[in-house]
Amino acid sequence: MISVTDDTGPRLDHMRKFANQSRQVLLEMIYHANSGHVGSSLSCVDILSVLKFDQMNWSGSVPRTESDVFVLSKGHAVPAWYAALIVSGELEADHTKTLRTIDSQLQGHPDRRRCDLVDVSTGALGQGLSISLGRAQAKRLKGQDCYVYCVAGDGETQEGQVWEALMYAGVREVANLILFVDYNRSQNDGAVDEILPLHPLVEKFAAFRWHVQEIDGHAHAEIRDAIINAKRNASQPSVIIARTRKGHLGEDRVVLNGSHGGTLSADEFRQAIDYLRAAA
């Protein structure tokens, strides 16, 4: 397991390093599989890095019935989670070449029956938040001081079930639930603003009695501080709307022009890896 120091500066340096490594691993996985969601995985890497390497009380060796729980409701971005597990050493590096192959633990969408480092199976959108709620309420019923972290896509909030869950969580004051919306503004058929705009998302969440924060979803310090703030609110569930970019490699680089689909050509893959190595 990787340990980080308590000092803020080095911790952030570590997270930057882990996020960079995760990006390289997930790109390699998807490139090798020649199938997978590059842009969606890259947009949530920084969120997952802060959760996995800093804020979550989560270990592959501890049953999640006794610790924090991680739910990737936008299951198509699961290479980002697999990559974090490989970077952390909880998953062996040779799994990199098994993504989306037959009998692999690393299914195209997370499958807890095949991989015990996956807490919840997802894939069809809109269901992860409801399961997160059930797990969070179970934690409270058991008297556990644990959090459930759920990462959903922005387009995913177009699913009706999400709003059933939002209504329920707010009214029931499920404060040990922290939801990230990976607001990368892009969905399968194009820009979210063109397909079905979400605005005003902050006001909508607030109306459903959620504690709402809006942050830069690629700024590790902002992500960390938002989680700490969310935990301080003991009477509301928290949503962190993380403004991200699909295909984000770094401040000055995105891949695949921020689109939802598509895989990298050999040249694009090499250039992306070179960019990340130079930035490491």
Partner 1 sequence: MRATRDWFEDALVDVAGEHDRVVVVNCDLASATKTAKFKKTFPERFFECGIAEANAIGVAAGLAQEGYRPFVASFGHFLTGKYLEIFQSVGLNDSGVVLVGTHAGLAIGKDGPTQMGLRDLALMRTLPNMRILHPADGIETRQMLSFVAGQDQPTYLRLCRQAQREVHRPNYRFVFGQPDVVHHGRDVAVFTMGGMVEVLLDTLPELAGTGIDPTIVNVSSLPLDRDALADVLGAHRHVWVVEDHFIKGGIADELARLVLELDQDVHFGVWGVPDYGQAGSPDDLYARYQLDPIGVAGRLRKFLRRQPSIEVKS
How wide is the angle at C-alpha 70 spanned by C-alphas 15 and 76, nearest 5°?
90
Task: Copy the structure tokens of residue 201.
Answer: 């998302």
**One-letter amino acid identity for 68?**
D
Smallest distance, Å, CB 69 to partner 1? 8
Task: Copy the structure tokens of residue 54.
Answer: 């800093």
**Cβ-based nearer residue to partner 1, 42 or 125:** 125
Smallest distance, Å, CB 52 to partner 1? 20
**One-letter amino acid identity for 168?**
Y
| C-alpha dist (Å) from residue 19 to 23, 44, 78, 150, 186 | 6, 10, 15, 19, 21
259: three-class secondary structure by DSSP: coil
Question: Which residue in the set 38, 47, 117, 165 belongs to the binding site for partner 1 (CB under 8 A)?
Answer: 165
Site for partner 1 in 117-136 (CB under 8 A): 119-124, 126-127, 129-136
Could you give the string, one character per residue 48-87, with x where binding to partner 1 holds by CB under 8 A and - elsewhere?
A: -----------------x----------------------
**Cβ-based nearer residue to partner 1, 141 or 266:** 141
Smallest distance, Å, CB 64 to partner 1? 8
Question: Which residue in the set 67, 161, 229, 233 belongs to the binding site for partner 1 (CB under 8 A)?
Answer: 161
Could you give the string, one character per residue 137-156, with x where binding to partner 1 holds by CB under 8 A and - elsewhere?
A: xxx-xx--------------
Neighbouring C-alpha atoms within 13 Å toward the C-beta of 165: 28
Q: Which of 16, 93, 80, 85 shows the shortest CA–CA distance to 50?
A: 16
The answer to whether 185 contacts partner 1 (rule: CB under 8 A) is no
**Cβ-based nearer residue to partner 1, 39 or 126:** 126
CB count, 10 Å around CB of 148?
28
Smallest distance, Å, CB 97 to partner 1? 25
Q: Which of 63, 46, 62, 66 shows the shortest CA–CA distance to 54?
A: 46
Residue 244 and residue 218 in contact, taking contact as beta carbons nearer than 8 Å? yes
Q: Which residues of the chain form contacts with partner 1 (CB under 8 A)?
A: 65, 111-113, 119-124, 126-127, 129-139, 141-142, 160-161, 164-165, 167-168
